[in-house]
Structure 1
Amino acid sequence: MSNKIHILIFGLVLVLAALCRFWAAPISAGPDIAQFWAFAKVFQIHGLDFYRYAHGTAAIFPFKFWRFVYPPIWLLLLGLALIVVPESAATQTMVDSGWRLAMKTPIILADLAIGCLLYLAVPGSRLRKLLFASLWLFHPTSWYESAVFGQFDAVAAAFLLAAIILLERGRDRLAFLLAGLAIMTKQHTLVPVAVMAVIVARQVNWQRQVSNFAIFAGVVIVISIPFLLTGNFFAYASSLFLPGQAPHYQLPLVYAFSGTGALLTYLHDVFNWETSRFLPLTIPVMLLGILAVLVFSYRRAVTPAQGALAGFLVFIAFSYQVNYQYMVIYIPIALLVAAQTQYKGERVLTLVLALLPAVWLWLFDVSFWFNYLNPTSPWVTPILARIGLAHSLLPNYAYVSLALAIMGLSIAYVVCVFTRWHNLSLQPSLDTVS
């Protein structure tokens, strides 16, 4: 087939993926969507002093004492969404359909951008490119997070994936600019970005390293300074760098994707063992794991995609709290590694890691979010039931088993990539000029 026909087919795939998302966007909502509306309103009222008022104590917040506040790029996107629908409203029981659609649109566009990036970056035939791009575009997890639940990790994932691809093509300066944007969208991308920096440090002189760091730091500083000029340094820093929740039992277990957190919580529930004292230990274990990945990424010839994936999987494996939306960060990177690798074992493991999170949707009642906040859409329930997405909740051991499986596979990949699957022929080619 000619290139034009392949591009036409990919265009149709993009349109279909977009339709699937835009169909669900205005008729579904979780609590985060209502809270995001309040964030946008507080930003509209207080401007750059937003972070002083962001912790959910004001009457405008549907859910009080909200623990999770995010970096400025998502806040700016929420502000733009409110400009589009200025008359929208949200409470504990309702969210305007217009706000749902406006807020989710940037996330959906990021989903589509990731599909395009994979299509461009995957080596081989156009059919192969289409296959791997489609694995993302029709991934149930990406659809759920962008179109239904409304979490924005895809925006950070798009920046991070673009940075990885550019780094592998020798465009390190532009890569670190995008890496800065990724971190200023979602803090959790710091780990894979740090691994990418270590991999580059192995290949370039110190002047180039300083240049890359200056670009990265410049992005962070330029975006941060306006919010710091109001004097709310502590509020801004704590919102960005401190965890939203101290180590504690992960309840309800249906939403717990930390293997250690889920297991310790389950043991407490079933046997009444006091296991909470072990949860803080996951922090030093995770930090040691990240340090090990940084060291081995410098000493082994791994690609930026492999290193970034290993870094984020250490976070997934050992963090005491892992939310479902965090999977969105690593899934496209895993697909890219699966497409690039010459090792059959690595391809199988990364594909399993990429696809396994989707299993959760068949262990959960997805239709719940179509009926949680007014206006509800009960007519969707029988549609989703036909494909198994309106499932009654299962016993807790099912969700703990899934979390442990993701944890075990994550650890297996990190070990294998540094012991068996390095020294690939596909390596980034970077300038070493000053």
Structure 2
Amino acid sequence: MKKVYLSSNVFTAFIERLNFICRHFDHIIVSFSGGKDSGVMLELVHMYYQKENLKERGIKISVFYLDYEGNYRETQEYVQRCIGKFNDFDYYHVCLPISASCGISMFQSTWLPWDPENEELWLNEIPDGAIHLKNHKFDFFEVGMSDYDFQSKFCQWLHLKKRANRTAILVGIRTQESLNRYNAVTRTSTFSRFGTIPWSHKVSHNVFNFYPIYDWLFEDIWVANAKFNFDYNHLYDLYFQAGVPYKNMRVANPFHQCGVQSLKLYRVLEPNTWGKLVGRVNGANFASLYGDTKAMGYRGISLPDGHTWKSYVDFLLNTLPEEVRKIYVKKFKTSINYWLKSGGALPVSVVNQIKNSYFKFEILGTPKNNRRYKQKYEVVRFIEYPDDAPNKNFRLLPSYKRMCITILKNDTSCQYMGFSRTRDELQKKKEAIKKWNALL
């Protein structure tokens, strides 16, 4: 996306975006996670709500928090301070057994917070006033449904409950955090937007996500906290004191792949919680010890003596549970067939760099699709699937080494190799078998 320099600061830009949203929407859902970004957004929305008299204008504000069961004490206390803090807002603190991403175990691609069959293993108790399995009124809810599916259907359900004309879901993501978040607000398709607004995404009819702080930097969050004296999650103070890099200061599902590198901090910051985490999901202790090392695909990994990257892939596959191995084998075969038969699109600059290398390939011309490329691309078909690839363009090029790293990262969706995210294939299969057996 072309960089645009505004004459105003990010705070003014945020207010202008809220002005736009409130001109077109009569119901706003603040998606709250307990982290720094959504926390600042919640405070700013309340400030704006009071200043612009949104109550008199008939604009309703709801706050939605999906509790993943395992949180630091500081996060729990901060969430409790925020839920119910502003009297004019409606709050939905949800503690339901939904399927959450698990990036630490070779035996399960997801885990189930608030699992009714393993209540004795819960990391925390359900807070007073929360929505749980025994008191929820969601006709769409199913035990084990994915968290993303739940969030989408919940917002649609709330839109109907509030009898809103249009519902805007404010999501506190910033493009500085990751490439995926950058892509979320730079997509070229106008079909999935609200009008021509790039920082929006259609959820369903008259329900849209908006990312009003997408261009804020890490520093902007803390300037706002200091300038307006906002409350915040003091876990970030502990992170800072522990020397955690800014990019790793995350508040999320404790077993999510993005938090693997900082999982070990539970041992230091909250030993009691850590003891529960070890018994909650297979692989937690291993991930805490090796989460930021080459053992799990982080930093540079080296090839064991006597192996090629291809033979190392076979070795790693043989160490996996059968069902997990099948997932990888299927996707690895897809990658091999794709690059050796139809070919894949690569930037011309990358193609020129590998022309004088050991790679054996042929150029098939420009891509024949409707995708809008920001630079020149050529379709390349490899004669042999590469064992390794130049470090500079490693993620773009196919290689058996890339497969090894994918396995070590426990990336069953193979996003590291460029595959789109799948919806918990392994866990869904297990749940389907479990339900079927229950009927027998």
Shorter-chain TM range is: under 0.3
TM-score by length of 2: 0.27
Between 1 and 2, higher relative CO (CA 8 Å, sep ≥ 6) is seen in 1
* Richer in helix (by share): 1
TM-score by length of 1: 0.27
